[in-house]
Structure 1
Amino acid sequence: MILTITLNPAVDISYKLDYFSLDSVNRVEDVSKTAGGKGLNVARVLHQLGEDVAVSGFLGGSLGGFIRTQLSAIGIQDFFVPIDGETRNCIAIIHEGKQTEILESGPVVSASEAELFVEKFTEYAPKVKIVAISGSLPKGLPSDFYLRLLEISNKYDILVLLDSNGALLTSIVASEHKPYLIKPNEEELADLLGQKSVDKTQIIEALGSSLFADVPWVVVTLGADGAIVKHNKTLYRARTPKIDAVNPVGSGDSVVAGFAAGIARGLADEELIKFGLSMGVLNALEEKTGHINVEKIEWAVGQMLVYRIER
């Protein structure tokens, strides 16, 4: 089983308007409401790929119930832990070629609720082969919460794929409990290195440094320009096909799903990189976030160019 973790999920609400007027009434007919969160995007793509997948995190209130109902409707296993607080809304107003976002911070998770999550995670850990942890921590959780999950995962030989950023990612990379894979983008890698930006030469130098020596896979995504990938001591350059993106939101989550599925299937290095990155391309071609057309997988993989970087 592959388990995805989204500790601070949301109901994503999208309002599409021709015009958005401040300090006025805006009436909208084009509305969508979906179960949102990076790990839920990962889970949806894994489900479409036919993988045995479950989701976990914290859910509360009527909005938490809405997310549970959506997950049940598409057949994804629900391992979420109930909390007293109300799951948040995240609103996107799409207007005049722009997107205005209103993001709630979410509920405060109590110490007892956090401990319940750790207990539940430990209980089903023996059933799990791969864990994909995505996103930030909700309020109330200690900064070392991901490290506790990593420690438990390592105890049970579970491979952890981590997609986070900032101080969380920095502390985890520096800790003794290493994830199996991390997926920073250029901006997140620069932040991790304490720089404002990085070019491709600097990325290659960083991936060859001792900082990432004990992280088997590091996938640095470069948007439309592909990725630079490290597996153990080998570096790869990956170039993705040029496409007319419909909705690139969630493509990073889809890449995590692709790598999780590819690892579960035992794909070799270059095959795995092509397969993983293809999911990001396929997500960008769909209007819905965290969705792919499985009939286009063979095409996308065939369009990928992956080669070793000689140092």
Structure 2
Amino acid sequence: MALFDLPLDELRGYRSASTEPEDFDDFWAKTLQESREHDLDARFEPVETHLTTVRTYDVTFAGFGGHPVKGWLVLPAGATEPLPTVVEFIGYGGGRNLPHTHLLWASAGYAHFVMDTRGQGSAGAWGGGGDTPDPVGSAPAFPGFMTRGIDAPENYYYRRVYTDAVRAVEAARSHPLTDASRTAVLGGSQGGGISIAVGGLVPDLVAVAPDVPFLCDFPRSTTITDRDPYREIGNYLKTHRGRADQIRRTLAYFDGVHFAARGRAAALFSAALEDATCPPSTVFAAFNAWTGDDKHIEVYEFNDHEGGGPFQEAAKLRWLSSHL
């Protein structure tokens, strides 16, 4: 796809029109407090992967509402002291996959925690699947996850996912071979959007690295592109006429722009200028809102949603080595 969004010089100054709810901080403080009333109960069971360079653990911890959430913890095989830790969140429709697909960060000497996204991996849209159901039902929704419970912020699917993600950081930090003082979060697309949310909700992270992040600048993203997953919202509103204001109110509590305004950690973003799934203006909206002074964005001029791919992985390896 050719360039379709704002020119790069305008992207660098672009600001979202998303309006932050007055009770945004109270909403999230209450949400996390309620989930922390459940024991984290993080359990790490060794897994035989037949790999000699890493040790892998099957993780279960209590996420939103105390619901069991799965994950992997992958460690360098010879680790005996606490390691800097990378917590990763997965793209839309995928799950934690199989252990041998997560070797990069442990190979670089980090503890690597991968969170399974509730409901998505078990649905099996791509990859090797997942093992975390979402036991919460919702009002009628368009197929997919973007409109589940969208009638109210308290019911919205991503309230559960963002809470799971904060608890995933807590679970990762609970293992004796992770260094809680050196924790980074990262992910691509949906995983990038989740990492931005966690960056705004967990104040003591060292680094946040969202690639071509999803879930940002909803007023623009839901109207500038007709690609899924954002288009799920438009398709929902085609049949639920007259609810647009109600839906905009719900989405405002989950907009990466507002979490970015609370982000203090060092940040490395990436954007692709031909990305019609997560349009570059919506990525720059979150990047420009990020309040930490140590921030940088890699721009891939002729790429779609694949973004920087292995080039961005190399950039993150270089960047994290100086922060963790």
Greater strand proportion: 1
Query: TM-score when scaled to structure 2?
Result: 0.38
Query: TM-score when scaled to structure 1?
Result: 0.39
Bigger relative CO (Cα 8 Å, ≥ 6 apart): 2
